[in-house]
Chain A
Amino acid sequence: MKLDGEYLFNGPREEVWKLVRDPDVLATALPGTQSLNKISDTEFEGVMHLKIGPMAGDFTGKLVVSAEVPPESCTLTVDGKGAAGFAKGVGHVQLIEQADGKTLIKYTGDFQVGGKLASTGQRMIDTVSKSMVRQGLEALDKALQARVAAQAENRPVEYKPPTETEFAGAVAKDVAGGVLSIAEVRMVLYIVPVVAVLILLALILSRCGG
C-alpha cells in the first residue's frame, strides 16, 4: 500500500528538525506513548498504548533511520505490531525550505500490513492512513508553532497534545465525513492504533536535518 503526500509546516526547517529530534516532545505529542527508547543514533523503539472506544492495546514499534542526507532527506524503515496485526514499511522523507520561512515535507512510503488489519480492514486502510498522517502532521505543526511562539516571547511552550480519543475521533470524522456505520467504526478503531504508531513514529522520529 502506497502512502505519498506533502505537508507545509509553519516554521523554519531548523525548528522542524529540532522538534522532531526531541524525543520528550514527541512522546507527549503522540497520544498513548508509553516509552520511547533510543537504542542508537539510528534506531528507536517505542511502545504505545492506544485506547479508542472499545479497542485498546499495546503496539510495539521499531524505527530504523538510514540513507541520511542531512538536512534534506532520509529513509525510514518501520516495523510495528500489536493485537490488531502488524505493519512494516519503508518511507522516504524530504524537507524543503520554503521562501516564506515555512518547511515543506514530502513523503513517499510503501507499507505492508498483516493480521486483522489486512484481513478485515482493507477498505479502510488507504483512507484512514492518509488521514492519520495528516492529523499527525497537523498536531506536530501546532506543537511547532507553540514552540516557535514561546521562543519568540521567551516563555515556556504552551502545547496540549490531542488525547488518544480526540485524535481517533478526528481521523474517524475525516474519513467518513461524519456518517459512520457500526462496522466502519470498528474498522477505524482497529486501524487507528497501529497506523498511528507506524506512520507517526516514522515521520516524527525522523533524523532528517541531522
Chain B
Amino acid sequence: MTAQYVGQRITRNEDPRLLTGQALFVDDVDLPGMLHAAFLRSDYAHARIKSIDATAARSRPGVVAVYTAEDMGAFWKPGPLLVPAPHSIKDLVFNQRTQIPMARAGDKVRHVGEPMAVVIAESRYIAEDALADIVVDLEPLDAVVDLFRALEPDAPLIHDELGTNLASYVLQEKGNYEQARAQADVVISRRIVIDRGVAAALENRGYVVQWNAREQELTMWATTQAPIALRNLVSATLGISENQMRVIAPFVGGGFGPKIMLCQPEEVLLGWATMKLNRPIKYIEDRRENFLATTMERGQIHDVEIALTRDGQILGLKDVFIHDTGAYNPYALTVPLNTQTHTMGPYEIPNFHTEFKVVFTNKMIVTPVRGAGRPQGVFVMERMMDLAAQELGMNPVEIRRKNMIPADAFPHEQGIIGQDFAQLIYDSGDYPATLEKARQMIGYDQFVKEEQPRFRAEGKHVGIGVACFTEGTAVGPYEGARVTVESSGKVSLVTGVGTQGQGHFTSFAQIVADQLGVDVRDVRVVTGDTAQFHWGTGTFASRGATVAGNAVNAAAASVRAKILKHASKALGAPEKELEIVNGQVRVADIPEKSISLSELALRANPMRGSVEPGTEPGLESTQYFGPQYGATAAGTVAMIVEVDTDTLLVEVKRFVIAHDCGTVLNPLIVDGQVHGGVSMGIGQSFYEQLVYDENGQLLNASFADYLLPRSTDMPHIEIGHLCTPSPLNPMGSKGVGEAGAIPTPACFVQAVENALADYKLEILETPLSPNRLFELVQAANP
C-alpha cells in the first residue's frame, strides 16, 4: 500500500461547497412553518427573582408562546455533569452545581445572560420585540466577581444551600517540595494572574429543532462539536429514546471549545418547546448573547514558587492557584487539571506540589476554550523560568535546555493525574530538538549579539522571547468510523465526530484513499450526523485526526482485507500478489488480470442466491479506536517584537514555531491549524480581554470593544516541523489543533519584557494591552 495521499498537501474536498456559499450552516436551514425563538436574559449578575409576568408578551401579535421555568414542569432540572469528577484524586472536594434551563421565580439568576424566559414567534424580529413586554420583578443582590472575594466568609453565596462558593479543591503532589525547597540555592515566588477571554467563533451558536409528532422523532441541527453526546444527553432530558432523536452538526463556523458544552439551556428549551408546539423552531444567538451566554475560559490566579540550584537546575515547583468556574461547573475539572499537568511542560520537575481551589462567581460558566487550561500552566512555568534565568544571570534558552526531559527518557511518567483521570505519561518526544530548531529559525544568537544591540543604539525597543510547551492531545475514550465501498466503486466514510473547519472531509479521505487505492476525491465523508453514526465522543482536545483518524484507518484496513479476500477468489490469485490501484484490484505482475472495486462491491452484495455462513454483506467495516492515554505533542515558539514607547503598541516582527505532532496526515491542514492557534494566542496576549465591573456586568460585549486580531495585527508565521511518532496509535500521530494558542502569551510577555529591558519590567499577567503596559511602565519607573 503506497502512501499517495497521507502526508501530502492535498487541497480540501469540502472547499468548493464552502467557497460558493453552498455549504449548509445551521442558520441556512429553513423549514415550512418554522418559528423563531428569543431568550429573555438577565441583565443582573446576581438577583432574586420575585415574579416573571409574560402576559403582555403572550398577547403580542405574532407571538405563539412564551415559556418560563414554571411552564416546564418536571422537565425543569439542572443539566447533567458532562465530565465526571476525578475521584481517583485523594481528598478531592467537588461540589456539583450544573446549569439550569431557565431561572425560576423564587430562585435566583446567577450571571448576566442567564435565561429567564423564552419567546417563540413568527419571526425573530417579533420575538425580540416581545422580550421587552415581559416584566420581571427582581431584587438585585451583591455580585461576586473577584476570585479571592468569593472565598471570604462574608461573601455573597452563589449557591445558597452550599454554604460556600468553593466548587472544588484538588491537591496533587509528586515527590516532596518542602524538602526540595530546603536544599535549594534560589527560591523565587510570585503571584501570576491570567484573565478570561472568549472563543468568539465567527458563527454564533444556533439550533433548528423539529419535532415530528407523527413519527415521534426529534431532529436538531446544532452548531455543536459533539453531536452524539448532545443527542444522548438531550434525548434523556426530554424523556425520549436516543433512537428518536437525530442531531445534525452541518458545517459549523468555528468551534474552539464552547460548542462542546452540552445540555446548554437553549438546547434543552428548544427541544422541549418544539415537542410542545409541534412546530419547527429556530434560534440563532446574536453576538452580544455569545459574549454573555456562551461558555468561556482562562481566569486563574497562581501563587507559585520555584526552587533551583545555583546553576539553574529545578529542584521543585509549588503552585497554589484559584480557578474561576463561573456560576456553575458542568465541565467539572478538565480545565484546571490541564493546567496542573501542563505546568510541568517539557521539563524535569522532580518535586511538584500543585493544588487548586475552584470558585463559583457571578460570571458565565467556564468550559474549555482552545488550550483548555494548558496555556495557564505554560504561562506560569515559563514566567518562573524567565525569573529564575534573570536571578541567576542565565540565558533564557540555556535554563530551558538544562531542565528539559532528554530525548531518551520516553515514555516518561509525570506522576500527576490529568484530565482523562489517568496518570500523565509523555509517550514520545524530543524537546531539546524543538528548542534548538526554534532557536535556529529565529536566529537567536545573531539577534541577541548583533541585531538587538544595534536596535538599542538606534533607540528602538526590540526584544526576543522563547517559550517551550507540551500539549496533551488525542485523549480517549474513543471514536469510530464506517467505511463502505459502494457499487459505483466510490467509497463512503462515516464517522461520529463533527467538523468545524479541521478538514476532516479531506484528511480522513486521504487515509481511506491510500488504504483502498482510490482517488481521494472519490471518498465521500459524512461527519456529525447521529442518524448515520451514533457512537463517539466529539471534536475537542486536539483529538479528531488522531482518534477518529485511527478509527478510519482501522475501518479502511479492514475493508481492504475484505476486498483482497474477495478479489483473490474472483481472480484466482493469492492475496499477497494483489494490489489496488485506481479503483482496480489487479495481480501485480499481470495488470490485465483485474477486477474493479465496483464489480467486487456488487458481487459482495448479491441480490439472489445463497452465501456462506458467517458472511458479512458488502465491502464495509465499522471500527473503533481508543488510545491507552493521550499522546503528548510539544514545541517551542520564538518571537521578536518591537514596542513603540510612545503608544505602547507592540508589533510582532517575527514569529516562529517548531512543532512536533508526530505523523502528519496533511501538512497544509496542519499549517492552517497552527496559524489559527497562533492567532488566538496573539489575541489572548495583547488584544483580547473581557472587562467586568464589580457588579458582574461585562463592559465590552461586542467586537467594537473586544478586539480580535486582524490581518494587520498578525505576524507572518514560520513553522518548522519535527516528528517523534506516537507509539500509542498505529498511525503514530498526535494532535495539533491547540498548539499555537498554548505558548504564545508566555512568549509574548517574555519578548515584551526583553524589548523594554531598560524599563525593568516584571510582567506577571496576561493579557496585556497598551493601557496596561503603560501602567506597568509607569509603576516600574516612577
In the complex, chain A residues whose CB is within 8 Å of the CB of B700: 119, 122
Asked whether B131 lies within 8 Å of A83 as measured between CB atoms, the reply is: yes
Residues of B within 8 A of A119 (CB): 112, 288, 291-292, 697-702
Q: Which residues of B contact A38 (CB under 8 A)?
A: none
Contact A86 B43 (CB under 8 A): yes
B44 adjacent to chain A (CB < 8 Å): yes
Question: What string of 1s and 0s marks CB contacts (under 8 Å) between B556-590 and chain A?
Answer: 00000000000000000000000000000000000
Is the C-beta of B132 less than 8 angstroms from some C-beta in chain A? yes
**CA–CA, A58 to B133, complex, Å?**
9
Taking CB atoms and an 8 Å cut-off, the chain B residues in 88-131 that contact chain A are 112, 131
CB-defined interface of B24-57 with A at 8 Å, one 1/0 digit per residue? 0000000000000000000111000000000000
A82 shortest CB reach to chain B, Å: 8
Q: Is B693 positioned at the interface, with any CB of A under 8 Å from its CB?
A: yes
Task: Tell me, yes or no, whether B705 is within 8 Å of chain A by CB.
Answer: yes
Check if A85 sits within 8 Å of B705, measured CB to CB: no
Partner among A85, A88, A115, A120 whose Cβ is within 8 Å of the Cβ of B702: A120
Contact B288 A114, beta carbon cutoff 8 Å? no
Which residues of the partner chain B approach A118 to less than 8 Å between Cβ atoms?
693, 697-699
- Measured between beta carbons, the chain B residues less than 8 angstroms from A123 are 705
1/0 per residue, CB under 8 A from B, across A111-132: the answer is 0111110111011000000000
Bound Cα distance A122, B699 (Å): 7
Q: Distance (Å) between the CB of A187 and the closest chain B CB?
A: 9
**Given the interface contacts A119-B702, A122-B700, A122-B705, does A112 sit within 8 Å of B132 by beta carbon?**
no
What is the interface size of chain A, counting residues whose CB is below 8 A from a CB of the partner?
19
Contact of B112 among A81, A82, A83, A114 (CB under 8 A): A114
Q: How many residues of B are counted as interface, with CB atoms below 8 angstroms from the partner's CB atoms? A: 20
A183 lies within 8 A of chain B by Cβ: yes
CB-nearest residue of chain A to B128: A83
Known: A57-B132, A86-B43. A120 touches B288 (CB 8 A): yes
Q: Which residue of A lies closest to B136 (CB)?
A: A81
B1 within 8 A of A: no
Of residues 264 to 292 in B, which have CB atoms within 8 Å of A's CB atoms? Answer: 288, 291-292
Contact yes or no, B132 A115, CB < 8 A = no
Contacts of B701 in A (CB 8 A): 119-120
- Inter-chain CA distance A120–B703, complex, in Å, is 10
CA distance A165 to B699 in the complex (A): 28
Say yes or no for B607: interface residue by CB 8 A criterion.
no
Shortest distance in angstroms between B210's beta carbon and chain A's nearest beta carbon?
30
In whole Å, how far is A11's beta carbon from the nearest beta carbon of chain B? 38
Q: Are A112 and B695 in contact (CB under 8 A)?
A: yes
Q: Least Cβ distance of A61 to chain B in Å?
A: 15
Interface assignment of B19: CB less than 8 Å from any CB of chain A: no
Residues of B within 8 A of A113 (CB): 697
Q: In the complex, A85→B698 CA distance in Å? A: 13
| Nearest Cβ on chain B to A159's Cβ, whole angstroms | 32
- Alpha-carbon separation in the docked complex, A101 to B700 (Å): 46
Q: Are B693 and A112 in contact (CB under 8 A)?
A: yes
Task: Please state if B43 and A183 are interface contacts (CB–CB under 8 Å).
Answer: no
Closest chain-A Cβ to B703's Cβ sits at a distance in Å of: 10
**In the complex, chain B residues whose CB is within 8 Å of the CB of A82:** 132
Cβ-closest chain A residue relative to B699:
A122
Q: Is B74 an interface residue (CB 8 A)?
A: no
For the complex, is B704 an interface residue (Cβ under 8 Å from A)? yes
CA distance A120 to B705 in the complex (A): 8
Contacts of A112 in B (CB 8 A): 693, 695, 697
Smallest CB–CB gap between B232 and chain A, Å?
Answer: 34
* B135 closest partner in A (C-beta): A60
Question: Which of B43, B44, B700, B702 is the most central at the interface, judged by chain A CB atoms within 10 Å of its CB?
Answer: B43
Complex CA distance for A86 and B131, rounded to whole angstroms: 15
B437 nearest CB across to chain A (Å)? 44
Q: How distant is the Cα of A192 from the Cα of B92 in the complex, in angstroms? A: 51
CA distance A115 to B292 in the complex (A): 10
Which of B131, B697, B704 contacts A114, CB < 8 Å? B697
Q: Which of A66-120 contact B (CB under 8 A)?
A: 81-83, 85-86, 88, 112-116, 118-120
CA distance A85 to B292 in the complex (A): 14
Q: How far is the CB of B765 from chain A (nearest CB, A)?
A: 22
| Chain A residues whose C-beta falls within 8 Å of the C-beta of B698 in the assembled complex | 118-119
For A115, A119, A122, A183, the residue with the greatest tally of chain B CB atoms inside 10 Å of its CB is A119
Q: Which residues of B contact A57 (CB under 8 A)?
A: 132
CA distance A113 to B697 in the complex (A): 8
Q: Give chain B interface residues in 688-746, CB to chain A under 8 Å.
A: 693, 695, 697-702, 704-705
Contact A116 B288 (CB under 8 A): yes
Cross-chain contact of B44 among A114, A120, A122 (Cβ < 8 A): A114
CB-CB under 8 A from B140, the residues of chain A are 88
Cα(A118)–Cα(B291), bound, Å: 13
CB distance from A155 to the nearest CB of B (A): 43
Which residues from chain B contact A115 at a C-beta distance below 8 Å? 43
Cα A82 to Cα B705 with chains together (Å):
23
| Contact across chains for B705 and A81 when beta carbons are under 8 A apart | no
Shortest CB-to-CB span from A95 to chain B, Å, is 31
Q: In the assembled complex, which residues on chain A have CB atoms less than 8 Å from the CB atom of B699?
A: 118-119, 122
- Cα distance A112–B699 in the bound complex, in angstroms: 11
Q: How many angstroms from the CA of A86 to the CA of B705 in the assembled complex? A: 20
> What residues of A have a CB within 8 angstroms of the CB of B132 in the complex?
57-58, 82-83
Nearest CB in chain A: distance from B652 CB, A: 27
Q: How far is the CA of A122 from the CA of B705 in the complex (A)?
A: 9
Closest to A120 in B: B702
Q: Which residues of A contact B43 (CB under 8 A)?
A: 81, 85-86, 114-116
Max chain B C-beta neighbours (<10 A), residue from A81, A83, A118, A183 = A118
Instruction: Kindly list chain A residues whose C-beta atoms are within 8 Å of the C-beta of B288.
Output: 116, 119-120
The residue on B at minimum CB distance from A79 is B140
Output the nearest chain B residue to A123 by Cβ-Cβ distance.
B705
> Bound complex: CA of A159 vs CA of B88, how far in Å?
78
CA distance in complex: A114, B43 (Å)? 6
Q: Report the minimal beta-carbon distance from A197 to chain B, rounded to whole angstroms.
A: 15
Nearest neighbor of A57 in chain B, beta-carbon distance: B132
- B126-185 residues at the A interface, CB under 8 angstroms: 131-132, 140
Chain B residues whose CB sits within 8 angstroms of the CB of A83 once the complex forms: 131-132
Contacts of A183 in B (CB 8 A): 704
Tell me, in angstroms, the Cα distance from A88 to B47 when the chains sit together. 14
Q: Closest CB of chain B to A34's CB: distance in Å? A: 15
Once bound together, how far apart are the Cα atoms of A123 and B695, in whole Å?
18
Smallest CB–CB gap between A183 and chain B, Å? 7
Nearest-neighbor residue (CB-CB) of A113 within chain B: B697
A116 contacts across to B, CB distance below 8 A: 43, 288
Docked Cα-Cα span, A116 to B292, in Å, equals 11
Q: Collect the chain A residues with CB atoms within 8 Å of residue B693's CB.
A: 112, 118
Least Cβ–Cβ distance between A44 and chain B, in angstroms = 18
Return the chain A residue nearest B704 by Cβ.
A183
| Candidates A58, A114, A120, A122; contact of B695 at CB < 8 Å | A114
C-alpha spacing A58/B698, complex, angstroms: 24
Complex Cα distance A83/B38, Å?
A: 14
B90 to chain A, nearest CB (A): 42
Which residue on B lies nearest to A60, using beta carbons?
Answer: B135
Give the complex CA separation of A57 and B693 in angstroms: 26
A-B contacts, 15 listed (Cβ < 8 Å): A83-B131, A88-B140, A112-B693, A112-B695, A114-B43, A114-B697, A118-B697, A119-B112, A119-B698, A119-B699, A120-B288, A120-B701, A120-B702, A122-B699, A123-B705
- A residues within 8 Å of B by Cβ? 57-58, 81-83, 85-86, 88, 112-116, 118-120, 122-123, 183
Give the 3 A-B residue pairs with the shortest CB-CB distance, closest first: A115-B43, A119-B701, A83-B132
* 14 more CB-based (< 8 A) A-B contacts, given A119-B292, A183-B704: A57-B132, A58-B132, A81-B43, A82-B132, A83-B131, A113-B697, A116-B288, A118-B698, A119-B112, A119-B291, A119-B699, A122-B699, A122-B700, A122-B705
